Amino acid sequence: MIEPAPDRVHLSPPDTGDDERALLLEALDSGWVAPAGPHLTAFEDEMAAVLGVPAAAALSSGTAALHLALLLCGVGPGDEVLVPTLTFVASANAVTYTGARPVFVDSDASSWCMDPALVAEELARCARRGRLPAAVVAVDLYGQCADLDPIVEICTRYEVPVVEDAAEALGATYRGRPAGSLTPLGVLSFNGNKIITTGGGGMLVGDDPEAIERARYLATQARQPAPHYEHTETGFNYRLGNLAAAVGLGQLRHLGEKVARRRAIRRTYEAAFAELAGITMMPVAAYGEPTHWLSVLTIDAEALGASREDVRVRLEAADIESRPAWKPMHRQPLFAGCRALDTGVADRVFERGLCLPSGSGLTEAQQARVIEVVYAAVGQPATR
Ligand SMILES: *Cc1c(COP(=O)(O)O)cnc(C)c1O
């Protein structure tokens, strides 16, 4: 028997329930223990319905979904792809898989997401040079949508495809529209730490059923329709398994509650830290409603009397997981040779940003403990 994890408070652990257990056992007993089956199809159909898109392909990871999205956009060796610098490495790794090079774009201070003005400047510059990027990847950071209307408008003008990396944003909205549905191809992740989980998995969603069907074909080793194994191009083993999809199906049924809980967690932190000069929450842009996948705050060490690292180390000593905001990709040794449009916004977020425990299963008592330890780290008693 494997014991469950002890009392440590994690950043964003899986949050599963009875529906997942029942559906998983149903899938197991059905004999569909393969990357095919009724739960897989139902998971795709229900997700497409939730997002209001015509088609969806369930895959082994969000990273795989990004890789296939870029391939569908025609990205290949020698190309450039614009990617926000403030993101998880997967957004940029998928570009590398295609043989293209990422070009990193700094953030807008009012959303921390990719700055549309920088995208516009870069595309104008590239157009003058006569060589446009092959695609733009916009990331919905920490559950807040990128400002996609201006990004899509600019990209449409230059005929550059845009992919929405909504791995952290399932359940968020942008001007009333669901995250993941804001561009012709959207990417979701069901990693263990995301809004919903399949224990590892992802999905490519889109408005063109033929494109999604091609993604499914590429994800299953690109088998041609023939009784024998016939291949004309390189495929991948990227399909999600039916058992995992059954868990995802159970999770999806509770999406609303999970997002509501993450939003409540963010509100509680916001209220608790409102009177601490030196702590500011991640900004919420007026155009949408984030999931608050992670509650992130920034610390002005001088005003607070404690640095981001002081607070993080105190939390760690209390067995509470917290993490600095993403280290910008253009500061990563891995991407040392890549171009970057750098305004310093992402650098400041990394220097000051701290992600706090935000999982939908976080109890009120656990959150109160997190708040107490933050107050202790700055030498003040918690007032709430
Ligand atoms: C988690 C994540 C991914 C990758 O998803 P996986 O399912 O872990 O491969 C991609 N982009 C962003 C922004 C993410 O947070």
pLDDT tens, position by position, 323-354 = 999 999 999 999 999 999 999 999 999 999 99
Tell whether 292 and 206 lie within a shared domain: no
Tell me, in angstroms, the distance from the centre of ligand 1 to residue 91's CA: 7
Task: Please spell the DSSP secondary structure of 53-90, one letter per residue.
Answer: -SEEEEES-HHHHHHHHHHHTT--TT-EEEEESSS-HH
The mean pLDDT value of the chain amounts to 97
**DSSP-based three-state secondary structure for 131:** coil
Query: Of the residues 189, 194, 203, which should be mutated to test ligand 1's pocket, given the most ligand atoms within 8 Å of the CB?
Result: 189
pTM: 0.97
Tell whether 163 and 288 lie within a shared domain: no
Tell whether 239 and 106 lie within a shared domain: yes
Q: Which residues contact 26 (CB under 8 A, 6 or more apart)?
A: 39, 246
Q: Which atom of ligand 1 is nearest to the CA of 64?
A: 9
Q: What CATH number is attached to the domain comprising 294?
A: 3.90.1150.10
**Banded pLDDT at 7 (limits 50, 70, 90):** confident
Number of domains composing the chain? 2
Domain edge (last residue) among 189, 224, 254: 254
Tell whether 249 and 262 lie within a shared domain: no
Tell whether 56 and 80 lie within a shared domain: yes
Residue-range definition of the domain harbouring residue 336: 256-377
pLDDT greater than 80 at residue 382: no
Residue 82 included in any domain? yes
Tell whether 260 and 246 lie within a shared domain: no
Tell whether 37 and 70 lie within a shared domain: yes
Tell whether 226 and 263 lie within a shared domain: no
Contacts 24+ apart (CB under 8 A), 31-36: 32/242, 33/241, 33/242, 33/243, 34/241, 34/242, 35/220, 35/239, 35/240, 35/241, 35/242, 36/239, 36/242
**Banded pLDDT at 1 (limits 50, 70, 90):** low
Tell whether 289 and 217 lie within a shared domain: no
Tell me, in angstroms, the distance from the centre of ligand 1 to residue 188's CA: 8
Residue 57 included in any domain? yes
Q: Which atom of ligand 1 is nearest to the CA of 190?
A: 7
Residue 6 included in any domain? no
pLDDT tens, position by position, 276-285 = 999 999 999 9
Q: What CATH number is attached to the domain comprising 73?
A: 3.40.640.10
Residue 3 included in any domain? no
pLDDT tens, position by position, 69-93 = 999 999 999 999 999 999 999 999 9
Residue 4 included in any domain? no
pLDDT greater than 60 at residue 4: no
pLDDT tens, position by position, 93-109 = 999 999 999 999 999 99
Query: Of the residues 59, 60, 61, 63, which should be mutated to test ligand 1's pocket, given the most ligand atoms within 8 Å of the CB?
Result: 63
